[in-house]
Structure 1
């Protein structure tokens, strides 16, 4: 349906006011330090704001910790318990989860905070919609599960567990070992990065398309097309709710997969 909007606007005789979303949305002009390794643009500003707000919320919740929690402390504890119970303990077990809980908690709330900025008025773009941040988080997860495996088995033992699964006839290792290497050491960080990035990019483009079309149809298109603006507005609101769900879901999936990879590294196949 939305593919028809630009063509209808062209038929209306004026498409100069319609803002078609492009990949350029994710490469805004520099605000500070242009052309240097420290270049600071709008997406970096969104990331800084999201980080500061996240830290502030938890500081306020923990400022006056009480045995009988207040509303803010109760909400913070529920969020932390979700990561602890539904992710860490569910995958790693109650005892082993304690070693990795801090990392998993930081990953979950970082991804969630960076994702949710895509639907916050005034920010309107996810901090995770440019590959730098998803890649850094994936590298952290990558290092975490490799270190966990080395601690559990030693370097040689971990490589043996990862690349030479037990109970397989030795000629099969000629095919199986390269597959295991690519799966464990290449595809895991790559898929963590790409899954998070693509979901945030596509969500932003959908929202921009819907609301730009709504603005154009209501204020600039001819009368024959104005009623369609109600459809694009409804779609934009629906996609906004869906994007909130996706922001939380991707934080959950990213953290869950990190926990799964740690568990696989530490376990004996």
Structure 2
């Protein structure tokens, strides 16, 4: 048995990407149900981890439960959650100009932040599927003043059943073209603030966790922080993308069913 497979068998916490890994749109992907059943039976904790900050924990838990995977809100961790933790732990900011969905606004407000477009101390860019031109113009106005600028995650596209739609990484490039500013901090996968927030939440060393996802530059790049990484080819990454990438996973499976097969293998 290879070293990565041995590490997989010894993993104490699994981090599961959602879009393109567990589901696409409203379609559950192969192996998702079986993997969670195996982890539950063996009392191994797992978190659903997503960079998609357009929804909150409640919405994700409801969706997974609707798809046949009963899920508690405590089992969801988003880049929005990690951004809130980062702001509270590392900054004094309270007044935020937030470009985000009503769900993200609700999360920030529930943690005591004042959301305003008048004299904010910081701007936060989330994946805003409700974005308007007036929001974009206002953000640009604040960015040129030099105000601190944080983005929840770096994803360029968001996968859907019908193809990709522009995500926050595309917005970052647009705002950079307009203002010359790029975020001072990008929080979500694969960046260290996301990893540190997860390790604190689960109280398990990073080198005893495994990240399973479909995207090289976010999910698999988390391996730089010491996690075991498993690429599934059920979402964004194709074999051609993988062969041409400088970012390489520890293991590759066609989907989560392949991960279940490995976990069921007895140790030699």
TM-score by length of structure 1 reads 0.28
Point out the structure with max Rg over C-alpha: 1
* Greater fraction strand: 2
* Greater fraction helix: 1
TM-score by length of structure 2 reads 0.28
